[in-house]
Amino acid sequence: MNSIFMQDKVHQLSDWILHTVFPSPYWWIHVLIHVILVVAPLAFLGLLLTWVVGIARRRLSGWHREMPLDVTSPFPPNMFLYILKYTRRTQVALLAAALLSLPLLYAVLDLPKQIINKALSSEAETVLVSGYALNQYELLIVLCAVYLAAVLASGVVKYVINLLKGQLAEGMMRRMRFAVFRSWSRGRRPCDHAQIIPLLVQEVEPIAGFSGDTFLTPVLEGGTFATILIFMVVQDPVLGAAALTLVPLQIALVPRLQRRVSALARDRSRELRSFGAAVAEASPHHQESRPRPVLTVARSLKRIQAIRLEIYRRKFFIKSLNNFIAHLTPFFFYTIGGYLVIEGRLSLGALVAALAAHKDMSSPLRELLGYYQTMDDVRVRYEDIRRFLGDQNKAELPHGAVAGPSASDPRPPLAGGCAI
């Protein structure tokens, strides 16, 4: 009875929205408006509730979980505080540049609409601009010049952002690699160089690269997405809602698929470390080589190949899904926007500008989804490095701490006495 009652309420709400916000005699418009203004917002609400419940469960479970003892490592437990400690000035400059790029982005989106509506489609012989009377040709030149200036300014700001981000990442990479090497070289437990080299080359680089995006990406990409959405809503609220129709589908599917790709990438990194250990033990100068080292190396290479092929399959599927969704959303623009243009409720310039803006809308959303997946992957890598260096220095712990993997660590030690 409750489900039937809720269905009736939703149906009444959708009918009210249809007849109040978007009245139309055509049945296909009814279907599209139901999807855009009722189904998509309800899907957003469901995802939001699921997200809030998931956070609450993780927080409640964390209260009852015993916190592990800290390990001896040059890196603090909180990765974000470590990044902020050495990069706070550059992070402030990056955030300032990101905020500066948002009004420039809005100008780049709005000026094509002004060119079409005021310079190309205007029937007036002259137009007043800041007290000056301009004809169509002069107005066209002025608007195109302003558009070119906005594009150049936006490009310069993005260049500065990328340059600062690259300098920050390279500085953090040098700092982290030296810190890892110094802690490993001063450790009391023996460890083969085949274990530390992949750690320095492969594990540190993603963390250092993420340091440039730690605070920039949520502000820049989130602000870009919000700016484009605001621009679409200004053109027409229904077009703004149409731009968000398939976003719940992306949020529900893409992170789950990407999470598996990140897990496979971590498996590949660990398998590469095992491969390095197998190669070191297969050396003719190694005194404790295994009976069949060539077979061990071959099996490790086969596992690496299988993991990489699975990564390729999943990454290409995610890319195909994103492309399909990106090309399906303009269907709503052409149908709803075209109907509004025919009815005289929307200008052709606004529709063209909205279509151009939507092409740039999928990129920030994709970057945001990838950011949160990368954050989880980088956090795991950071904890692996801390645990590795802590195991190297356990012999230096006071009160007679035993050097070796703890009983609570389920991961077995790697070759050469290194536990990862």
**What are the tens digits of pLDDT across the range 45-91?**
787 788 778 767 766 765 544 444 444 567 888 888 889 988 999 99
Is 208 contained in some domain? yes
- At 32 the pLDDT is 73
Calpha distance 12→288 (Å, rounded): 77
Burial of 4: CB neighbours in 10 Å, binned 0-12, 13-18, 19+: exposed
Residue 129: φ, ψ to 5°: -130, 110
- At 417 the pLDDT is 42
Calpha distance 63→206 (Å, rounded): 30
Is 134 contained in some domain? yes
Q: What is the CATH number of the domain that holds 157?
A: 1.20.1560.10
DSSP 24: -
Residue 400 corresponds to which amino acid?
A: G
Burial of 246: CB neighbours in 10 Å, binned 0-12, 13-18, 19+: buried
Q: Which two tokens stand for residue 215?
A: 């605070």
Report the range of poorest mean pLDDT among 53-57, 300-304, 330-334: 53-57
SS3 (DSSP) at 419: strand
Q: Encode pLDDT of 260-283 as tens digits.
A: 887 888 788 778 777 777 777 766
Domains of the chain: total: 1
* Cβ neighbours of residue 244 closer than 8 Å, sequence gap 6 or more: 40, 44, 229
Burial of 217: CB neighbours in 10 Å, binned 0-12, 13-18, 19+: buried
- At 362 the pLDDT is 77
Report the range of poorest mean pLDDT among 115-119, 135-139, 226-230, 397-401: 397-401
- At 159 the pLDDT is 96
- At 244 the pLDDT is 80
- At 67 the pLDDT is 42
Contact 154, 179 (CB under 8 A): no
Calpha distance 237→239 (Å, rounded): 5
Q: Which two tokens stand for residue 74?
A: 């040059």
- At 2 the pLDDT is 57
Is 351 contained in some domain? yes
Contact 273, 198 (CB under 8 A): yes
**What are the start-end ranges of the H helices in 22-74?**
27-34, 40-63
- At 227 the pLDDT is 92
Q: Is the pLDDT of residue 42 over 60?
A: yes
Which pLDDT band holds residue 148 (cuts at 50, 70, 90)?
very high
Is 23 contained in some domain? no
Average pLDDT of the residues in 313-331: 82
Report the range of poorest mean pLDDT among 79-83, 123-127, 340-344, 412-416: 412-416
Helices vs strands, H then E, count in the chain: 14, 4
- At 394 the pLDDT is 60
Calpha distance 209→172 (Å, rounded): 8
Report the range of poorest mean pLDDT among 77-86, 100-109, 405-414: 405-414
Residue labelled with tokens 């509004």: 340
Range of the domain at 112: 68-419
- pLDDT over 90 for what percent of the chain? 15
SS3 (DSSP) at 128: strand
Query: Can you state the percent helix, strand and coil of the chain, rounding each to 5?
Result: 80, 5, 20
Report the range of poorest mean pLDDT among 190-194, 286-290, 297-301: 286-290
Is 298 contained in some domain? yes
**What are the start-end ranges of the H helices in 282-361?**
293-332, 338-343, 348-359
Residue 300: φ, ψ to 5°: -65, -40
- At 392 the pLDDT is 64
Report the range of poorest mean pLDDT among 49-53, 93-97, 190-194, 269-273: 190-194
Is 21 contained in some domain? no
Is 216 contained in some domain? yes
Is 375 contained in some domain? yes
